[in-house]
Amino acid sequence: MNSGKILITGATAGIGLATAQSLSQQGYELVITGRNPDKLARVVNSLDSSKVTPILCDSESVEDIQSLGETLVGKGITLDGLVLNAGVYFPNELESTTLEAFDHTMNINFRGPFFTLQSLLPVMNPSSSIVMVSSLVVKKAFPTSSLYAASKAALEGLVGGLNLDLAGKGIRINSVRPGVTATEIQGKAGADEEAINGLKQMMASTPLGRILETSDIVPAIEYLLSPASVGMRGVTMDVDAGHAI
């Protein structure tokens, strides 16, 4: 598994970064996106930079997303795989959720992936694979996560219909549903050390017995990108430490 070109959105941290690192080590050519130029540059420098094309792209910006596809067309780059990973999580309660928070979450977690795929469709090769990164919250409810869960459920809702729409192009789409994973997303959502320790204690009661690491999620993404998964269409793989059992 070391040929082809893969684009990863949100590749500067968390699952996206871990996926980029693993694929780079296997010799893949990568296109990586992020909205922070300094973080993007650091990631490129940590990989085989001769095989990495970095592109600034804010997944909340329709203009950036449209430009992403145009840039690849201009560079003559075509893709064998796409990992729609960019996402945000902020805890919300119904009474205090603002329209701004609602739109921000839905724009990045749902609208962004939809229009990213639309923008990149002209450069997707036949038989290419698309992996959407969802979340366990679609399947197992957590307090103050209703908005995040709805945005990821909407993302999963695309998978079935798009498989039928794109079948004639030979493109397949599947998704991965990570459980609670040790990434920057908790801190960005305002979780302090005590709250993060609480998550670790909660995950200690799962069959796996610990919080997930990004390295636990990456193999599922790699499998869905690989030819070994050619018979899988519209599948969601739970990588949740058995939390939903």
Q: Which residue has the tokens 């909407």?
A: 154
The answer for residues whose C-beta is within 8 angstroms of residue 124's C-beta and 6 or more apart is: 78, 79, 82, 130, 169, 171
Instruction: Identify whether 148 is a catalytic site residue.
Output: yes
What tokens does 204 get? 């200690």
Torsions phi, psi of 183, nearest 5? -140, 180
Strand blocks (E) in the chain: 5-8, 29-34, 52-56, 79-84, 124-133, 172-178, 236-239
> What is residue 119's three-state secondary structure?
helix
Q: What residues are annotated to the active site?
A: 148
